[in-house]
Amino acid sequence: MTRQTIYFPQMTSEAAIPMLARIGDRFYTSSIEGRDPATGALGDGGEKQFELAFGNLKRLVEEAGLTPDEIAHVTVFIGDASGRQLINKPWLDIFPDEHNRPARKTTTYPLPEKVIVQLQAFGVAGAKRQPLEIPGLSHRDPLPMGNKSGSMVYSSVLGGQDPKNNKQVAGSAEQMEQTFQNMRALVERAGGTTDDIGLVWVFLRDRTDQPVMIDSWMKMFPKDGDRPARKTIMYDELKGRESLVQLQFAAVLGGKRKNYEIAGVGHHDPIPMGATVGKNFFSSGIGGVDPKTGKRADTLERQAPLAFENLRALMTEVGSGLDAVAHLSIMVRDYRAHSMVMKNLLETFPDKEKRPAVHQMALGLPGTNQIQLHAAGFID
């Protein structure tokens, strides 16, 4: 199985993390910032940082022997909503063909100091990109509803619009159900079914909307032991808006889905700790719970090593070990956790040629969690 790691220290503030990791034909990037590729300095102002970030995305995939046409999904992370107006110009510079663009999601939350934008990309080497649409629905921005690359399907952001009129459905339960049905419609447009979905990220306006989300989740995925991995985020960006939910998903066409658990560790919601679809692996949130007691540790210093040990245990259950992990999204309370995260990450992945790409984000931690890991990878 081909494994490739690309280090590009001028693109990041953390040189010990590879900027791109590839296993087989799947590739994943770490956080790509708007840094000068010669000096590593952040660009002066938003417009310059966006220009540099998208330029660095192109530069990075080309350094790996790939092209922007092999990018299947891009997430744009911005510190506040004002960054949205700066996305499309560099986006169109790299993806000018309106019939051949990746899926895209823009997510807003506090970024590290002085960083205005971060990009993250996933893709399939050698695959021809096929944008997907849902008849009757469209985005305001120049991006498709989703994208099929080889057997992989990635969605852009999906909401509760009715395809009959492209308007948001009224009523909490009705809007939630429509959002899930739009997810079904998109994967079916790719030639798949909801059985092919391996991972769903759910962005909720408010915690009070979670029960209706669970109802729609259970209707779509009723069978214990056969559900996608999931992450649910209470997303302040939706507060005061008509939209109560946003979804994005990843699916693998033609692969049988299987669920995995960690003994002594579980979720309150009806979701697995991890799921495979074919050779592709996705996890739900892996936190600092002690499997001997089933209780969460009380500090970051205690939670972090437990989270990484739980990741190791999960990958042992999958049968691949840590070598199959190609990407980690690491959720923290704030970026003061960085040194503790890096200590445990480097201890868990000591071989620099087998380290995953990494994105740290100060978003999405429920309750008393101080850290959560979300893993993706490819199993030989």
Amino acid 87: pLDDT: 99
> Do the Cβ atoms of 224 and 234 come closer than 8 Å?
no
Please report the pLDDT score of residue 2 as a whole number. Answer: 85
Q: Is the pLDDT of residue 175 over 90?
A: yes
Cβ-contact 137, 155 below 8 angstroms: no
Q: pLDDT band for position 12 (50/70/90)?
A: confident
- For residue 154, what pLDDT band results from cuts at 50, 70 and 90? very high
Residue 142: the pLDDT is 97
Which among 326, 309, 306 is positioned nearest to 317, based on CA atoms?
Answer: 309
> What predicted TM-score, i.e. pTM, was given to this entire model?
0.97
State the amino acid at position 294 in one-letter form: G
Boundaries of every domain in the chain: 1-147, 158-254, 258-380
CA nearest 205: which of 158, 245, 160? 245
Q: What average pLDDT does the segment 53-61 reach?
A: 98
Tokens at residue 2, please?
């081909």
User: How far apart (Å, rounded) are the C-alpha atoms in residues 252 and 229?
Assistant: 13
pLDDT of residue 268: 86
Q: How confident is the model at residue 191 (pLDDT cuts 50, 70, 90)?
A: very high
- Tell me the fold of 158-254: 60s Ribosomal Protein L30; Chain: A; (3.30.1330)
CATH architecture of structural domain 258-380? 2-Layer Sandwich (3.30)
For residue 48, what pLDDT is reported? 98
Asked whether the domain spanning 258-380 has the same topology as the one spanning 1-147, the reply is yes
**Cβ contact 47:78 at 8 Å:** no
Mean pLDDT on 111-118? 98
Q: Could you tell me the fold of the domain covering 1-147?
A: 60s Ribosomal Protein L30; Chain: A; (3.30.1330)
pLDDT of residue 13: 84
Question: Is residue 321 within 8 Å of 356, Cβ to Cβ?
Answer: no
pLDDT of residue 7: 97
Residue 380, pLDDT > 90, answer no
